[in-house]
Amino acid sequence: MTSPNQKSAVERRAEELDTIASVLPLERRDELAELLSDRDVETLRHLVNAGMGDNTLRALTSDLAYLEAWGLAATGQSLPWPAPEALLLKFVAHHLWDPEKRAADPDHGMPDDVDDNLRRQGFLKSVGPHAPATVRRRLATWSTLTRWRGLDGAFASPALKSAIRLAVRAVPRTRRRKSAKAVTSDVLAKLLATCASDSLRDVRDRAILMVAFASGGRRRSEIAGLRLEQLSAEPPIEMPDGPPLPSLAIHLGRTKTTSGEQDDAVYLTGRPVDALNAWLAAAKIDKGSVFRAIGRWGTVSRRALDPQSVNAILKQRAAMAGLEPGAFSAHGLRSGYLTEAANRGIPLPEAMDQSRHRSVQQASSYYNDATRRSGRAARML
């Protein structure tokens, strides 16, 4: 049972989390207030004030909440700082395990009571061992938070590195793309066909899909967080065989791969600009968030869409178009943009200028896939 002092501490943390909610949307505020320590919340507030990127903060908070929940479930206590090497090894053992060995040995992998505890709280949803990349990321978050506390951890210990390496080798996993299928122009056309009416939802969703794709496959967080102040009108593009096309710039600011110190901009031309302007006019938006929730009675919210809502919109439109919604996600717009650019013979540097991919290796993988599919080596028969 929670004592009065403990209850007041939880309430105090909840109020402190509220102060950073505008930067760090926390749907599970009350739950996080119980999971996180005073020091955890203090660290998050410090990072917000220090100007850490919104997406990085969201990911860090998500990892921290999971680690604290796992620590309580696995040991009955909050995470110690710094964490002993034995606890780090336990974390690896609970998350990287061999399904075949577990079938014969129930003690292998994450214990059932820990698994049940995390599932009840909604922290664990998938079945089976975690992806190695997820485990490494959460350990990196744990290590970073340890250093921010001015402490040393055992994260570089040979035993921990060896445990991860051996676990990954024992259970090889194929790295999957974030979206099983890319949203190329043919798929996008089917999605847009479901947005054919003049209803607010159709006008909004048409603008979201067209802007996200045409601006280089913007991430869902960038689309959800887009503000009118980031848009600036550009001179129309003169066309030799038709009327000039409207053009505007999107000033990205801080993103996953940019610091915001430079004025990184991407450009929209033609139909996406018309779709965006139609939404802004229909929703009567003259400042603030561009893409917003629409209430049951057609009321446009003043608050921005949640990034997950962008994903949900794409899946809903895929279902309406007769496609398998589970095969698509918002990241499919990003991979689809580069895949479509490759299919149309657009040079990789030009496509990367618009997508703002920092890694040539990552961006070129879509080009390589497109070339291999249509190349002579794949058409021997």
The percentage of the chain sitting over the pLDDT mark of 70, rounded to a whole number, equals: 78
Identify the bridge partners of residue 131 per DSSP, sorted by sequence position.
none
Q: What is the pLDDT of residue 367?
A: 61
Looking at residues 97-103, what average pLDDT do you find?
A: 84
Q: What is the pLDDT of residue 117?
A: 93
For the segment 333-349, what is each residue's pLDDT rounded down to a tens digit? Answer: 988 888 888 888 888 77
Q: What is the pLDDT of residue 259?
A: 46
Examine the pLDDT at 366 and tell me if it is beyond 70.
no
218-246 per-residue burial string, b: 16 or more CB within 10 A, e: under 16 = bbbbbbbbbeeeebeeeeeeeeeeeeeeb
- Residue 115: what residue type? D
Task: Give the residue carrying structure tokens 């978050």.
Answer: 141
CATH 1.10.443.10 is held by the domain 185-378: yes
Looking at residues 167-188, what average pLDDT do you find?
A: 71
Distance of CA 372 to the CA centre of its chain: 29
Kindly report the pTM of this predicted structure: 0.59
Under the banding of pLDDT at 50, 70 and 90, the label for residue 11 is: confident
- Residue 311: what residue type? N
Which regions of the chain carry the CATH code 1.10.443.10? 185-378
Under the banding of pLDDT at 50, 70 and 90, the label for residue 30 is: low
For the segment 43-86, what is each residue's pLDDT rounded down to a tens digit? Answer: 777 776 666 666 677 778 888 889 999 999 999 998 898 999 99
